Every structure is written in C-alpha cells, then in structure tokens.
Chain A
Amino acid sequence: MSKLVLVDGAKGHTGSFLIKEILESKPNWQIIATDLPIDSRKKLMKKETIFSSELKQMDEFLIDPRVEFLPTDLTKPETLEALFQGRKYDFIFHPASLYDYFALLDILREINVEGIRNLLELIIKTQDLKKLVFVHWSTCGVYGEPKYEKDLRGYPIPADERAPYDPPNYYSISKMEQELVLKEYVKEHELKSIIIRPAPIIGPYQTYGAYHILMMINKLGFAPGLHIYPKKKRLAMPLIHIEDLVRAAVFLAEDERAIGEAFNLVINPCLQEDFLEYLGTLLNTDYINIPILWPLYKLLSKILFWIANRKEKKARKLDSRPQIDLSMAGYMNHQYHFSNEKIKMLGFNFKFPDYDDVTKDTVEWYLGNNWLESDY
C-alpha cells in the first residue's frame, strides 16, 4: 500500500540508512527527506569530519526518484513549513538531532528540544493525527545507570523500558527533554507516537560514537581486557547495528501495538571483555587479559576519567575538541545493561542479534573500505 513518509536528519548516519532501508524494503513508499542545508550542516556537524578524514555520506539515495529532498532547519520553524504544504504523511521518522557529547546543553536544547517542539507544532496544525504515526529517536542514555534488579546469583538483570530517567550527560538530558516534549503533545493532541531508544549505534559509515572504540583499539595495537572480579560486577557492552535500528523503526511504525510505547534497541547482553577480545581478533591486534578487583577497577577508571576531563577542558580552552569525548569515557565505570525483550515480543527479529555478528560486519566493512588503517 502506498505511503508517504517524512525522514528528517536524512544526511546523517541513521537518516541515510533509514532511507536506504525504506527504498529497499518498501517499494510503494514515497519519501520526503530533509536535513540542514549543506553549509549549515558542515558548520554544525564538525564532529563528522574531525575524527575521520574518510567521511563519505550515503547521499546517493537522495537522488532516487522516490525521494524528494527539501533542506530545512528544525530551529527555524518557517523553513519547516515547506515540508507540510499539501502533504499528509502516514509516518514521520524523527532521527534528526545533534548527537554530540562535546556540545553544550544550550545548543543541544536549541536543536534537539526546541527542534522537536517546532516540528510537532506544525504537525498538529497540518496533519491528520488519526492517520499519522510519529517515530521518535531517543537513546538508552536517558536511563543513565538504573538500579538493576539482581538474579539469584547477584548478577544484574537488564533494565527494561520502565526504568526511570536519570541522564548522565548533556546529550542524554536533551534527549530526555525531547521525550518529555513529545509526551506533552501526545497527551494534549492524541498524537500516535513510538519512542525508540537505541544503544550506541555501530555499523558502516560511522565516524562518531562506537566507531571510536574501533579506532582506539586499532591505534593502541592491543585490546585491553580487564576481567573484573567478582564476576557479577563485570560491565555490559550495549550496542545496536545501524541496519537493525532502521529495520526496527520501520517494523514498529507499521505495528499498531507499538503506538504509545517506548522500545529499547540493543543486542543480546554481552560483556565488554568479550566484545573487546573479538574486536582485537578482527583488527588483528593482541588481547591483554588482566584480572582486576572491582574496587581497583573503579579507582583506575576514575583516574582515567579525571585525565579525560582535564583533556576536555584543555581542548575547550584551545577551541577544539579532545580525541575522545568525555561522556564516552563514562562507559568505563558504569553498568549500562538494557533488555531488548519488548521489541522481540512483538515479533521483531534482529539481523545482528549478538555482539559477534555486529562487530564482524562492522569491522570487515571498515577494513574493506580502508576507513581503518591496516597493513593488509
């Protein structure tokens, strides 16, 4: 059945994969794609080029006859009007956000929070709210580090979508506020919405986020495997493959049962040490297995976090940015352990359900396309 869909953030990592997915799996869907005009985007998204000279976006999909691209700016409501003139959408996918751990809260609020407000204002004025489904991109980061229930052996049970908000950094705060704005509109205008909360995204064409782990291990030349004792303190590695993320968004948009719900998007539980060991194997680096007691690990990670904090302050002074953003270093000493059972219950099948599938596909792509340095 023919559908008209709007995808914002269309030139970003998620947006471009989403368009590719729709073009491949939904032959009858027409896409209106939008993103910032080229110059504004370059200015705002410095992080896309600063960490990799290899940046190549998947712009080729935007020239497909089923895609119409309209440049807009979420912070300027007048530019958004063109998207809605004479169009009634079936689905609006809203991955557009400033995803940048280095950005200050003001700018994150302006783009992410006021941006969604501007978009929703126009939606309720122009769209058929009985038909439209609004799919909003949030993040697992809105939970921060929840208080986990424990199993009989004392191991943490992955947190589900009912965990309360406790965002640990500016970016996650802005995503939480986005969700709250959306919930206001859902309540007042009975807008049909779905919130997806992806774990750190991994996959081809990425130059920020989980990509930094790949880059770091490749540069270090070894994967540090800190095996924490007691074992129940070992840290999880939440990830989601970009293809599964966009497949899930399309899947949920079409499922009536998903309306009004939030969904974690994360692979099956895996430990950081297993992920790093496999990553080391794929990158042809060594793996150093270091057993360590939890209090000692905490102390070590606090020292490293302190160093990262100093480096970030220094970089700000120099009007630049450090080689790894501080919030990413937070993964060293926090337990981020989330459940994907809810979306599985709806019948969604992950193409990359486990850490090894995700890692293999991604690393092979990076090495094959020379986005990571290699001898081969």
Chain B
Amino acid sequence: MSGILEIIGWRVITKMGFVSSIIALFILGWLNSYLYRKYLRKRNKDWIAFLAIISIGVFWILDCLIYFDVLNMTWLNSLPWINIPASGSGRYFLWNSFMVIGLHPNISPQAGMEIVELVLLISYFPWYVVGKLLGKILHGYRTYQQGLYWPFRPTKTVIKKREK
C-alpha cells in the first residue's frame, strides 16, 4: 500500500503526524478560505463546506491508516536519521513525525496516551476552522470582499486597478 502511495507521490502526505497534521490543516483552512472567496464561491456557495470535509476527511483517514499500521511507515527507515521500530510503527510515527525533518523528540507511546491521541485527532477540526477564520479576516469571504489585505494593498496596485 505504502509503495503504491510513494509511486503516486503521496510520500509527503504520509509523513503527517498529530502535530504536523494540525499545522497543515491550519494552513489549509487559511488557503481554502482564500480559494473559496477568489474562485469557488461564485460557482457554488457550498464549496466552503466541501473543502472542509475533503481536507479534514483526508487527514483523518490518512492518520487512522497510519495509526492502525495499514500504511506501514517503516519505509522511512531508509533515511539514515530515522529509526522507526517495527512494532507499533504507525503510532510511533504519529508522535514523532517531525523526525522526517531532523527533529526527533523520541516520544514512546504509552498505555493511556490513547485519550490524548483521540483529543489531538478531534482537534484537527477546530484547528482547520481557526485557519479558515484567519483566511476570512485576511482575504474576505464574499466575492467582492478582500479582508484586512484591502487597506494594506500596495499603492501601485491600487492605482493600476483604479485606472483599469
């Protein structure tokens, strides 16, 4: 399974862990908010919900697949600075996903940490929403809005647009 994912270029996505997923979803919420205002709202107003379902759904599914070792993350051991144990590799990876970029806190999942894992997994949704709200403030929500960016646009851009 992981081999197939590598082939289709999902290597980056499968490097997600709890914290990296939270960061990625926050940024994705922001980006989706911008895309929605700029391109998607005029096609269908429900795109904001579709994007949220797709984004959070993909991360939840991927992380669950990693957690239950359906996606075997030990293939990352081919990198010299990574050492994922063979047993419980998915869970270990989710706690230590930053080892991919050289940050290895070496957290060993213990019994009872499941509740923290569940809370982190559920928190993907509010973090996505926070990112989306930030995007809304910075870029607007309706097609004619431009958010906080509007008063700070470069003067040259403003003048050019006005002349058009």
Instruction: Give chain A's interface residues, CB within 8 Å of chain B.
Output: 50, 216, 218-222, 285-286, 288, 307, 311, 314-315, 318, 320, 322-324, 373-375
Say whether B159 contacts A220, CB under 8 Å.
no
A50 / chain B contacts, CB cutoff of 8 Å? 162
| Inter-subunit contact A375/B150 (CB<8 Å) | no
- The answer to whether B137 has its CB under 8 Å from any CB of chain A is yes
**Which of chain B's residues 113-164 have a Cβ closer than 8 Å to chain A?**
136-137, 140-148, 150-153, 155-156, 158-159, 162
* CB neighbours of A314 from chain B (8 A): 155-156
Instruction: Let me know if B155 and A318 touch, CB within 8 A.
Output: yes
Interface of B is mostly: helix
* B158–A220 CB distance below 8 A: no
Known: A216-B150, A288-B137, A320-B162. A221 touches B155 (CB 8 A): no
Q: Residue among B143, B145, B147 with the most chain A CB within 10 A?
A: B145
Beta-carbon contacts under 8 Å, B19-76 to A: none
Q: Which residue of A has the minimal Cβ distance to B41? A: A375
User: Given known contacts A50-B162, A288-B137, A320-B162, is B155 in contact with A218 (CB within 8 Å)?
Assistant: no
Of the A-B pairs whose beta carbons lie under 8 Å apart in the complex, a sample of 19, sorted by A's number, is A50-B162, A216-B151, A219-B150, A220-B140, A220-B145, A220-B150, A221-B137, A221-B145, A221-B146, A222-B137, A222-B147, A311-B155, A314-B156, A318-B155, A318-B156, A318-B159, A320-B159, A320-B162, A322-B158
B105 to chain A, nearest CB (A): 35
The CA of A373 and the CA of B150, in the complex, are separated in Å by 15
Most chain B CB atoms below 10 A, which of A221, A322, A374 = A221
Residues in A with CB closer than 8 Å to B136 are 221-222, 286
Q: Which of A216, A219, A288 has the most CB of B within 10 A?
A: A219
A323 vs B156: C-alpha distance when bound (angstroms): 11
Q: Which residue of A lies closest to B150 (CB)?
A: A219
Interface of A, secondary structure class, is: mixed
- Asked if B162 and A219 sit within 8 Å, CB to CB, the answer is no
Interface string of B3-23 (1 = CB under 8 A from A): 000000000000000000000
Question: Is B151 within 8 A of A221, CB to CB?
Answer: no
Q: B77-116: which have CB < 8 Å to A?
A: none
Of all chain A residues, which has the CB nearest B45? A375
Q: Which residues of A contact B146 (CB under 8 A)?
A: 219-221
Additional pairs, 7, CB under 8 Å, beyond known A220-B140, A222-B136, A324-B151: A216-B150, A219-B146, A219-B150, A220-B148, A221-B140, A222-B147, A323-B150
* Residues of B with C-beta under 8 A to A307: 152
What residue in chain A is nearest B158 (Cβ atoms)? A323
Residues in B with CB closer than 8 Å to A216 are 150-151
Interface pair B153/A218, CB less than 8 Å apart: no
Distance of A318 Cα from B148 Cα, bound (Å): 24
Which single member of B147, B152, B158, B159 contacts A221 (CB below 8 Å)? B147
Q: Are A375 and B142 within 8 A (Cβ)?
A: yes
- Give A111 to B102 CA distance when docked, in angstroms: 69
User: Hey, which chain A residues are within 8 Å of B152, CB to CB?
Assistant: 307
A371 to chain B, nearest CB (A): 13
Across the interface, do B142 and A322 meet the contact criterion of CB distance under 8 Å?
Answer: no
A50 CA to B158 CA, complexed, in Å: 11
Does the CB pair A315–B144 fall under 8 Å?
Answer: no
Residue of B nearest to A315 (CB): B155
| CA gap between A50 and B150 in the complex, in Å | 17
Q: Are A220 and B147 also in contact (CB < 8 A) when A50-B162, A288-B137 are?
A: yes
Closest to A374 in B: B144
Chain A residue nearest to B161 in the complex (CB): A323
Contact call B155/A322, Cβ cutoff below 8 A:
yes
Q: Are B158 and A373 in contact (CB under 8 A)?
A: no
Within the assembled complex, what's the spacing in Å between the Cα atoms of A57 and B152? 30
Min distance, Cβ A96 to any Cβ of chain B, angstroms:
27
Given contacts A50-B162, A320-B162, contact A219 B155 (CB under 8 A): no
